[in-house]
Amino acid sequence: MPHLDEAQLTALLDDELTAPETEEVEAHLASCAECRQLLAETREFFQEAGALIDVVQLPALAPSRAIAPVPPDTPAVIPDRRMTERRQRGRLTAWSSLGWAASLVLAVGLGWFASDLRYGTSLRAPAADVKALNPDQAVLTAPSGEFIAPVPGESALRTPAVVAAATEKAAAPLRDAAEAQRPTSPAAAAPAPAVGALTNQAAPLDQLGERRESSSEDRGRSAAAGNEPRLDRTNSGVSRRQAAEPAGAVPLTEVDTRRDRASVTFVTLEEAVRSLGGTIRLVDGMVPARVETRESGGTGGNTIRVVYLDPPGRELWLDQERPPASGGPLTRELEGRPALLVGDTLAVPGPGGKWTLSWMDQAGLRLGLTGFLPADSLHGLVRRIH
Amino acid sequence: MATIEELYALYHQPLLRMLYRRTGDQDRAEDIAHETFARALATPPDNPRPWLFAVALNLVRDDGRRAVRQGRRLQLLKAESVPHAPAADDEYERINKSRMVRAALDQLRDIDREILLLKAEGFDYDEIAAATGLAKGAIGTTLARARRRLVEGFRTQERDQHAAS
């Protein structure tokens, strides 16, 4: 047998030879000092190179970047869909421009909201002042305690037909999926009995399609069953909006991704503050459209959702809850959702261009901001949350 | 066929490590890893491990640097001003050695470096061939050369550092 070459010896060290090849090589090595010498050199490089490569390890996750293991039903990878699409379509510049344009539109819209004093300025007070609000002066609270939503149609930017068309387009796939999952039994599909006037929106919120059904068909079913939600407020924006929309129009409420949805109740800011243990976070310069509490199934607490409207009339949700302290001083995990450290912001894309940013603030509140805006635009809003 | 979640659980960390060794830039490695899995989501591969690593290496080679950096959208936005403790002496030594290894790796030919890094992630010759397009029969020779050059390059780095100090 001729002398072994470096490739054969490397394959031997890498355990890539078949059994007969190995026997043949080892038999030759037993009788050839020159090849044994070459094997020793090859082994030296083999071992040293392996050790050197092992030195280069990913830097240890700094506390600011560490997140808990992602639960199974959370997207394990957050695909950068925009980047992929850009590369596929070769429209890098166009998408960047769109992003800037969206930011510009947002800025104009925020200015519009900031200048809209219909609901007074008391709600823009810092969190510490919210507790001092007089319920009678809380402009989002009607004398009955019911929430009054803003009146649609007063803004030129918010044309129901345009919003409905855009939403319809974005929601079509979701609606199809929702209809496929929707119970076929009328009894099962009927909304839960309303608990007073303020809980009538406890109908399914997790799919736009479901919500759309509930806003038209379920209303009809409820009326037929004598269970018509009480929306008889003469000065209610909700009533006016529903009256102004044609049957089947898509409501402005969008997709709810919360897995643990339970009952949803409209509350005043004071009630929300109490629920959160003495504080609440608001977006500086924006006027809340309403405040809701939602039961957090596994945690036993409540999630407060402050709902804002962006210029096209889509909802922006600022969710906040106080996690139980069992997760330790820094890492708190809620019902399988990723635990977050103070300072981290987790961005998760949703259907239809929706993004959700989640973070933990210094006071231990877990916050989430969801909207149909690019993640960087939402992050700009996060800086204004106090 | 494995779901994207399973692929992510199995291969994200090795892919990220390989990319970090390849690029020396953790942020860039994370970006490319995300982009790789995004492509796997769009086009589920039949043979995922070589496919994922081949796509990642292609991204590094081709337009990775420009496109990924310009199009980067952070999924986990970096926290602000979290102080880090100063590195201890042994940590400094490790970092310094890592830097020299990175420098030695940078001196290798692309194909040598890639085969070396794939082997370090446990790829066998068949998988290396699938990921790189190199003939299986050439892999042993290439690996031997790559290992020798890496070690020699590192030794040169060490000598230079001693000479400078």
User: Exposed, middle or buried by CB within 10 Å (0-12, 13-18, 19+), for A254?
Assistant: buried
Chain A residues in contact with B141 by the CB 8 A cut-off are 5-7, 10
The lowest-confidence range among A203-207, A303-307, B52-56, B63-67 is: A203-207
Confidence of residue A144 (pLDDT cuts 50, 70, 90): very low
C-alpha distance from B127 to closest chain A C-alpha (Å):
12
**CA neighbor of A121 nearest in space, from A142, A140, A108, A106:** A140
Confidence of residue A75 (pLDDT cuts 50, 70, 90): very low
d(CA A68, CA A172): 34
Is residue A8 within 8 angstroms of chain B, CB to CB? yes
User: Exposed, middle or buried by CB within 10 Å (0-12, 13-18, 19+), for A30?
Assistant: exposed
Residue, of A162 and A284, whose pLDDT is higher: A284
Q: Least CB-CB distance to A92: which of B37, B71, B79?
A: B71
d(CA A177, CA A208): 10
Predicted local confidence at residue A90, as pLDDT: 47
Is residue A72 within 8 angstroms of chain B, CB to CB? yes
Are residues A83 and B35, on separate chains, in Cβ contact within 8 Å? yes
Is residue B20 within 8 angstroms of chain A, CB to CB? yes
Predicted local confidence at residue A285, as pLDDT: 80
Are residues A42 and B144, on separate chains, in Cβ contact within 8 Å? yes
Predicted local confidence at residue A2, as pLDDT: 83
Chain A residues in contact with B73 by the CB 8 A cut-off are 80, 82-83, 347, 374-376
Confidence of residue B85 (pLDDT cuts 50, 70, 90): low
Q: Least CB-CB distance to B5: which of A10, A65, A72?
A: A72
ipTM summary value: 0.82
Q: What is the mean pLDDT of residues A6-21?
A: 93
Chain A residues in contact with B55 by the CB 8 A cut-off are none
Q: Is the predicted pLDDT of residue A199 greater than 80, yes or no?
A: no
Is residue A43 within 8 angstroms of chain B, CB to CB? no
Are residues A80 and B16, on separate chains, in Cβ contact within 8 Å? no
Burial call B130-161: b when 16+ CB within 10 Å, e when fewer: bbbebeeeebbebbbbbbbbbbebbeebeeee
Q: Least CB-CB distance to A343: which of B72, B80, B105?
A: B80
Burial call A287-324: b when 16+ CB within 10 Å, e when fewer: bbbbbbbbebeebebbbbbbbbbbbbbbbbbbbbbbbe
| Residues A310, A155 contacting (CB under 8 angstroms) | no
Q: What is the mean pLDDT of residues A203-216?
A: 38
Confidence of residue B122 (pLDDT cuts 50, 70, 90): very high
Please give the model's pTM, rounded to 2 decimal places. 0.41
For a pLDDT cut of 90, what percent of chain B falls above it?
46
Are residues B141 and A79, on separate chains, in Cβ contact within 8 Å? no
Predicted local confidence at residue B65, as pLDDT: 54
Predicted local confidence at residue B27, as pLDDT: 82
- Stretch 311-370 of chain A: residues touching chain B, C-beta under 8 Å: 341-348, 357
The lowest-confidence range among A17-31, A260-274, A278-292, A367-381 is: A260-274
